[in-house]
Structure formats: structure tokens, C-alpha cells
Structure 1
Amino acid sequence: MTILLLLLVVIQPSFGLLMPLSLPIICGTTTIGGTGSTCSSSRLSCDNSNKSNSNRILLSTTTTTTTLYNSNQNKKEEEEEEKKSTVPLSSIFSEDDISNFCKGTNAFWKGLVIEPVRNYVEIRPAGTTTGDIFSKLISPPEVPGIPRPVWFTILGSVPTGLGWYGYYKFSVEEELFQHELQTNKDGHVSGCGGYGTLFPFVYAIIIGFPLSLLHIPGGELILQSAGIWILAGQVNLYRRVNELCFEDESIRNEILGGGGLLRGNKEDDDKDSNDDQPLQPPLHAWWALLPPPLDVVVGLRQVHFLSEYWRVVRGEPYDKDVIAEELFPFISSKRFTLKEFIRKPSNWFWFTKSWKDFDNVDLLKD
């Protein structure tokens, strides 16, 4: 009986307080309606003399339940007030704050670069650079950005001992910075551009390395700060590339849906188990924090997908990247987990395409 009354009161406490005993009460196996009839069972005997006791029980139960209800309501209100008084981290730094920081950082470090260099690397409209491969290698940044495929990036980086890669890093960051300025309706940016991303790192290395070499206090701290800064920039770059690939449905389908992604990567009768899954952003941004060679894996994928994005935006024809799509298919394949990467040698190199995957290894299953 108490359980029935509790349910009734919880559903409508105010109604329960005013409710007379004209509703049926179940006693054992016989029902009484509060009109004077009696019932009996092996566990409970009910008669007219118990009517006042039932009233007291009902009122006591109702009062207790109502008190608990009000207590819970007060507790919920206190929790809501506590949530309101707790400011989430995302609201501390608004989009305006982040954009202003990035713009200020870019402007500050740009001011430390000598004018001839600034003039040479000044952003230019798309299509300004024409000519041979060498002209493209030394070309200033453009908006929309210049497509730089993996084979092209390797061609510039390896002979120069990764020296050209520094220029690549500057160029792609500055292109994204200027692209955001021109396309964001509020003029917001989410990166520090080529100046704000690369030059803090360069200056920190120039200053910190000799200090560390001479065991002067502060040298190690400067070098560590340089490493943290450039890694944070890489993670942010990968995040932005993911967003770019998903900013427009036609671009997403062209880059990730097979238009430019898996051409020549698989035989027609070789269906990937992930082909029917929804499209995902191509990069795991946090892989930038992994040790080599896994950080190189995501770095090469960033080069490929950013190049494909600029190609589609500029309306340039598809040109197969042999390095990314034939020799090292993992660069252009759909996004994969660490375990997937290890258990699928068919996605490693051109000479492992015919190797069987390690799908029967439980340790490598997701």
C-alpha cells in the first residue's frame, strides 16, 4: 500500500496532500473503497476502526515524500547554480580572443623580419607563379594556397637536408592564415601564420642552443619551449586541415570520397572493409606528439591532403601523386587507427600490397 501511495504522491505531490481516502486501498487480496467495508488476509486485517490510522499513515507518507521531493528540487537548484558559477574553459578564451592572439603573434614576429625578406615572401594571388618546378619551389605563398604534393615536398626537402621544409612550413601556415582572413565572415583566424608559427621556433633555437651548449642557465628551457611551440603548431595545423576537408560537401567528396583519395590505391575488386563507413577527417591531430616514424606518417598525410584541398579549391586538374598513392599507400588512404596501421601491411608499401593482413591477431583488433 505504501508503495502505491508513494508513486501517486511522487507523480503529483500537491494532489496527494489534498486527496481524500475515497480511492481504493489494497489490503491483502480484498479491495476496500474507504466507505466502511472490511477485508482480511493472513498478513493484514482492515476494518472501519483503522480508517483514521490509514489517514495518518497517508498524511505521514505524503508529507515525508513531499519533503524528499522538495529536498531533491532544492539540491537540483543548487547544482544548477553551481554549474552557472563555474566558468568552462572554452568560454574563457573566445573565438575573438584566440583570433586576436594569433593576429598579434603574427604581426609581432613579422616586424622582426628584415624588409627585403618580408617583401619577397609577401602573399600573392593564386596563379602568380608559373614556370618550372624550381620556380614553384622558391615561389612566395599564394591565396588560395599552392598545391604541393608529397613528391614535390620530398624533392625540395631531401637535397636541402630539410632546409626547404622550413620554407614549406612557413608558406602553408601563412597561406592558411591569409585564407582564413579572406574567407571568415568575422575575419577570425585560428593559427599564427608563417611568421608567428616558424620564427618563434627559429629564434628560440638560435638563442637557446648556444646557451645550452655552454651550460648557461635558461638554455635548456628555451629549447624545450621551442619544441613545445612547434609541436602545438603542428597539432593545430592538422586540426585545421581536417576542418578544411569538411568545410564543403563537394570538396569533402572529391578529397575523401574517392575523387582524389584512392585513385590507383586499390584494385577494383579489392573492397576495403571501411568503404561503407561515413567519411572521417583524414588526420589524427594528436599523432604529431608520437615518436618517429608515426609522427612522420601523419605529417606526410597532412602534406597530401592539404595539397589536394588547394588543388580542388583552385580548380586544377587531378595529377596522380605516385609517392602518396602507389609507393606509400598509407599516405593517401582513409584514416586509420594505430592498430589498423600495424595489422594491415597491405597499406604500408608498394611491395607489401599483396601481403595478408593480421586480422586474426587479437592484440591488434580495435
Structure 2
Amino acid sequence: LTLTPTLTLTLARKMRPLALAALLLLCGGAAGLASPRVGAKAPAFVPPPPKEDDTVDQFCRATNALFRQLTIKPVRDYIDVVESSDASGPLNTIDTLTTPPQVPGVPRPVWLTILGSVPTGLVWYGYYKFSVEEELFQDELRREGRVTGCGGYGTLLPFVFCILGGGAASILPPFCFTPLGGLLIQAGSAWILLGQVNLYRRVNELWVEKYGGEAPLHAWWALLPPPLDVVVGLRQVHFLSKFWTDVRGEDWKGDVVAEELFPFISSERFTLKEFVTQPKRWFWFSKEWEDLDFLDPPKPQK
């Protein structure tokens, strides 16, 4: 992945909320703000050892374990995965926003994700990113005995170390006279973007495995510029939330943002052309608009 200086700066600015959220995790800020733990600590689970020829599983587990150890203990004790409490039923809004990652994963609909992200300047989205990655890591390890993602620790913390290290190297001598700072920022940006593609791939696999049919996400859209990367990101939030709702045996209560206000979030998968030319997918007020044909080749005149 080749990044120009302009793109590198854009990515760094775009990713700063994630870096800040991860920094809060490292420094203990999340533990001080959080509500009491929901559920009990997950029972001891001893996964089978990675196969000698399974380098993907080995790499992902090692990366997760390394960065988990680099997280200070009070924070690690809070954000380690917990067992969901079946007796308590579905979580309320505050508990959903503040709960540690759970097994099975926590449904976090789009409206709630926006509620947590916008007032905090997207800082809460960093915690969301950590939580869903760690939940998928633990779920995959329990179901498959191997993993294809690095979990919350291994996905978010390498990124924040690269961004913070790159920022420091860009202003502190003698590193500021070298390309080290820019290289670290590029590496961190590439890591988080490729991790996002991998997240969408795993959500697709879970969805097709459970429901069949077509995968809901175009994973490669994560690499597209805004707003298309936001489009697929919101769709991931929605479909993963519905998946965890079913896995936990809870009733889906609907999502006014995803299912009414912005139909593209919950609709069947569509192409770039369909998104541009079908207003019915855009907003609640454009559902009845006719399709546009400006991208279709002109018909030959007879």
C-alpha cells in the first residue's frame, strides 16, 4: 500500500480519534469512566495450540498477546472479555456503551454507535473498534480453534503506537531529520485500514454461515475515500449488531437510523453504480424517487 504525503496526513487526521481512544485505554481513562462490569469474567478457556503450518493463526495470536501485555493491568482487567449475563437480559443503553467485550458479542446498533461516537468526537468509536475486534477474536478462537484477526489489542494498539511514535519522531531531533516519523504514520495507517478490510471479511463470513445468501459488505470499500468508506462502515455496524442479537437469542428492536432514515445501511448489498443511481437507498425522503440513468450508455439512434 503506497501512501503519498498528502494521503498520509489525511489518514493521520482521520485516525486521531482512534489513537486518542487507545491512549485512554493505555492510561486508564476508560476504567475511571466506566460503569460496573456487566456479566462475569469469561471462564478459563484453553484454546488448542496453533498448528505448525498455520502462520496466520500464529501471527494473530502472538500479536494479540504481545499488545495485551503492553496494556497496564487495571485497564486490562476491565477490558478483558467477560461472559454475557443471560439472567439480566438485553443490556440497557449505558451498559452497552460501557461494557467490556463479551462472549457472545454485544449488539451495538447504528443509532447507539452514533450516540456514543458523535458527542465524544469519535473517541467512543475507538472503544467500539476495540470491543468488536476482541469479541470476534474470542468467538473465532472458541468456534474454530484458530483466528484470522488480531483482536482488539492486536488491531488498535499497534496503530496507536505507530501514530504516536510517528508524531513524536516528526518533531524530536535527531529523528525529525529522518523519514522515520512519516514511515511510522504510514505503517499505522496501513495497519488499521487493512484491519478494517479484514473485519468486513469476517463479518461477511459469519453472516453467510448463519443466514446463507449473499455477503452484505464489499470489504474493499474500506479503502475508498469518504463517504464510501463510511457507507460500508455503517453497514458493518448494522449487520454485526443483528448477527449478535440472534446469537444471544434476543429480540431485534429495530434501528430507526439504519432501517428508516438511511436505507442504504440496512439494504441488500449494492454496487457503486447502484448506490449512485438509485435514490431509494439514500434517505428516508428519497425512497420513492425514480432511478437515475445518467451513467447508462446512450442508446443508439435508429
- 1:292-311 to 2 correspondences below 5 Å: 292-311=226-245
Aligned residue type for 1:332: S
Mapped contact 1:204–1:222 kept (Cα < 8 A): yes
Higher mean C-alpha deviation, range 123-132 or range 148-157: 123-132
Q: Equivalent of 1:283, from 217, 220, 231?
A: 217
Partner of 1:345: 279
Question: Is 1:194 aligned to residue 128 of structure 2?
Answer: no
Q: Equivalent of 1:173, from 127, 133, 137?
A: 133
Partners of 2:246 and 2:96 lie apart in 1 by: 18
Greater gyration radius: 1
Query: What's the Cα RMSD here?
Result: 1.9
SS class of match (1:221): helix
Unaligned runs of 5+ in 1: 1-92, 253-278
Deviations 1:184-210 (A, max 9, x none): 1xx110000000000000111111113
SS class of match (2:214): coil
Partner of 1:335: 269
- 1:135-154 to 2 correspondences below 5 Å: 135-154=95-114
Partner of 1:237: 199
Partners of 2:284 and 2:171 lie apart in 1 by: 43
Q: Would you say how many aligned residue pairs link Structure 1 and Structure 2?
A: 242
Deviations 1:131-168 (A, max 9, x none): 63122211000011000000010000000000000000
Cα deviation for residue 122 of structure 1 reads: 1.3
SS class of match (1:147): coil
Task: Say if 1:363 and 1:114 are closer, same or farther in 2 by CA, change over 3 A.
Answer: farther
- 1:1-366 to 2 correspondences below 5 Å: 96-127=54-85, 132-184=92-144, 187-213=145-171, 215-217=176-178, 218-248=180-210, 251-252=211-212, 279-359=213-293, 361-363=295-297
Cα deviation for residue 225 of structure 1 reads: 0.2
Mapped contact 1:95–1:188 kept (Cα < 8 A): no
Identity %: 60
Partners of 1:207 and 1:219 lie apart in 2 by: 7
| Larger RCO of the pair (alpha carbons < 8 Å, separation 6+) | 2
Partners of 1:246 and 1:216 lie apart in 2 by: 50
Partners of 1:139 and 1:310 lie apart in 2 by: 15
SS class of match (1:283): coil
Given the two structures, how large is their TM-score scaled by the length of structure 1? 0.63
Given the two structures, how large is their TM-score scaled by the length of structure 2? 0.76
Partners of 2:64 and 2:297 lie apart in 1 by: 46
Partners of 1:204 and 1:347 lie apart in 2 by: 38
Partner of 2:24: none
Task: Say if 1:359 and 1:131 are closer, same or farther in 2 by CA, change over 3 A.
Answer: same
SS class of match (1:246): helix
Task: Say if 1:347 and 1:363 are closer, same or farther in 2 by CA, change over 3 A.
Answer: farther
Task: Say if 1:347 and 1:182 are closer, same or farther in 2 by CA, change over 3 A.
Answer: same
Partners of 1:351 and 1:246 lie apart in 2 by: 31
